[in-house]
Amino acid sequence: MYMLFTNKQFKTAVLVIAMVMCLSSLALANTSNGTEFQSLYDMVVKWATGMPAIIIAIGIALVAIMRAFQSGSFVWALAGILVAALIFLLPNIIAGLGGATI
């Protein structure tokens, strides 16, 4: 009968599987109480609710309106205003995603 593994390959595979099973409990151990991304979340919320977001939103809207006048297409102005509105709504979106539980 054809052997799928040699004796050495079988021992190596069993050893690797045993190591993965033993070390998986360490990889899945949660010792942070869910606060590992709190500083990043606070920084993004600060940026999204602060002056940078307002400046970016107004800049995008103005550039899109100028592009609309240049090309003669209202689609640019509409897209710019929608992106600016999305940036103004971003804090609520972030808060909704941040408060979501799985």
pLDDT digit string, tens, across residues 65-101: 888 888 888 888 888 888 888 888 887 877 777 665 5
Q: What value does the mean pLDDT of the chain take?
A: 79
Q: Which amino acid is at 98?
A: G
Query: Which burial class, exposed, middle or buried, applies to 83 when counting CB atoms under 10 A from its CB (0-12, 13-18, 19+)?
Result: middle
Residue 55: closest CA among 90, 89, 87, 95: 87
Look-up: residue for tokens 């949660």?
30
User: Residue 14 has which token pair?
Assistant: 């069993």
For position 1, what pLDDT does the model report? 45
